[in-house]
A and B are shown apart, each in its own frame.
Chain A
Amino acid sequence: MTASEVYETASPEATEALGEALSKGFKSGDVIALIGELGAGKTCFVRGAAKGIGAVSRVKSPSFTLVNIYEGGKFALYHLDLYRLSNADEFYNAGLEEYVYARGVCVIEWADKVPALLKDCGVVIRFTHSGEKERVITVERRDE
């Protein structure tokens, strides 16, 4: 069973604020998938989440670095971005699964590039464009 919540944001700042608010419910061991097109607000959301858990590091896009680690908060936040992956094998070859099962919270942009990964994601957040700045953000929580 899954439960869904739908949010609407009118600006990148509002998306960031939503990330901050929802991060209050994160707990160590959570794996969260972020799915949506380029510019849909995934990194903005993570910036808010990092702020929410008190991480001190600056949140930047991990598209090229593949993973950024933000420390100094309640727990470590692993920010993965699978944008550059062409197939699931690359995910495992690059050793990225170690972050998924690490202590802390793992948020994964473009998690849908590795379908097998989705079953490990307790929360799936989908971002869609509804206007130039407006976004619809759907949060699906899988029952434990």
Chain B
Amino acid sequence: MLILGIETSCDDTAAGVVEDGALVRSSVVLSQDGIHSKYGGIVPELASRQHIEAIAPVVEEALAKASVTLDCVDGISVTEGPGLVGSLLVGMSFAKAISFAKGIPLTAVNHIEAHSVAAFLTEPGLAVKPPKFPFVSLVVSGGHTTLFLVNDYTAHEVIGETLDDAAGEAFDKAAKLLGLGYPGGAMIDALAKNGNPAYVEFTRPYLAKDSLDFSFSGIKTAVLNRVRGFNGAISDDVLKDLSASFQEAIVDVLVTKAMRAVKKTGVSHLVAAGGVACNSRLRRKLTEEASAYGVSLCIPPPRFCSDNAAMVAGMGFYKMQKGVFAGLDLNANPNMPR
């Protein structure tokens, strides 16, 4: 069964074709990273107009790369939320129009939940050991930091979430305070490789509490106070050390909470997904901790961690298997639980 996935919830316009919820036949993402870095700071592509211009060519490219036409597609899956309503509506209207014109069944998925289901995606040459239900999933990105207990492809229970800023947002804002470029997360990851993570012992926010919730707002202020202490004269070495120390604090919290969730729920499988799951330190530390505790860990490759439509197609397949379809009265749901 071939599903066409369409994703326009945030900055990227994406489409992908996935077979039976797992085999990725194509995954096309039109990312605005190039546009962002031109400004040397955090600059989004927020205009839904960009999605409108990009959606048709991106879908066409996804079909062409999968060597299929719309006549071969058995279902269409589209992100219904959370996200910016104007952006969501572009993908949703496009998906509905194809569904209506070609008589193809339609379903809608939650973007955050789809991130977890990316753990089942595979490609020729990609060795994937998919998780077994139930598992804990840490979805961590620019807009979200959520721990799920996933009982089934379509049964996701939120067991922890950020109370203020998302982890990816903390990375981007810290990068901005340190005067680094965009994307901030990748810049900090690169600098931290040669820095001393014990240079500053940043407070691990919310770690002492027995909860599975996160708080990353305060660490931003801690970085700012450090930076101010240097009065604008931060050497390259100090920059590396500050990056490493900051990254270590965030990663420490994410890993500790994920492992705490595993222990609390008693599951033996753990998934990490979302854009921040591309961070090399997070991947390594999670691997070490999961291995030490004897829990099986699955982190999708970076191209399926950051926003993509293959995960939307994958999730859509499982919803259709359960008989969950959407009608043409489907609407965007910008405030979906995250």
Contact = CB atoms under 8 A, between A and B. Distances in A.
Contacts of A9: none
Interface stretch (B39-47, B126-134, B187-195): B39-47
Contact of A94 (B39, B43, B48): B48
B86 interface: yes
Given A38-B173, A94-B84, A95-B86, A64 B220 contact: no
Interface string A54-66: 0001111101111
A38 B165 contact: no
Contacts of B143: 64-65
Interface stretch (A21-29, A78-86, A100-108, A118-126): A78-86
A64 B168 contact: yes
Q: Helix, strand, loop or mixed for chain A's interface?
A: loop
Contacts of A95: 48, 85-86
A115 B105 CA distance: 46
A64 B10 contact: yes
A66 B165 CA distance: 13
Nearest to B221: A39
Nearest to A41: B221
Interface string A62-79: 011111110000000000
Most A C-beta atoms less than 10 A away, residue of B10, B177, B221: B221
Nearest to A64: B143
Nearest to A93: B47
Q: How large is the interface on B (under 10, 10 to 19, 20 to 34, 35 or more residues)?
A: 35 or more
Contact of A90 (B46, B142, B163): B46
Contact of B164 (A37, A57, A60, A132): A60
B46 A60 contact: no
Interface string A31-65: 00000011100011001000000000111110111
A129 B48 CA distance: 35
Nearest to A63: B169
Nearest to A68: B335
B102 interface: no
Nearest to B176: A38
10 contacts: A43-B217, A57-B335, A63-B165, A65-B143, A84-B42, A86-B41, A94-B46, A94-B84, A95-B86, A132-B221
Given A60-B162, A60-B163, A86-B39, 13 more contacts: A38-B176, A39-B224, A43-B164, A47-B164, A60-B165, A60-B166, A61-B166, A61-B217, A65-B83, A69-B334, A84-B44, A89-B47, A94-B87
Interface of B: 10, 39, 41-44, 46-49, 82-87, 142-143, 162-166, 168-169, 173, 176-177, 217-218, 220-221, 224-225, 334-335
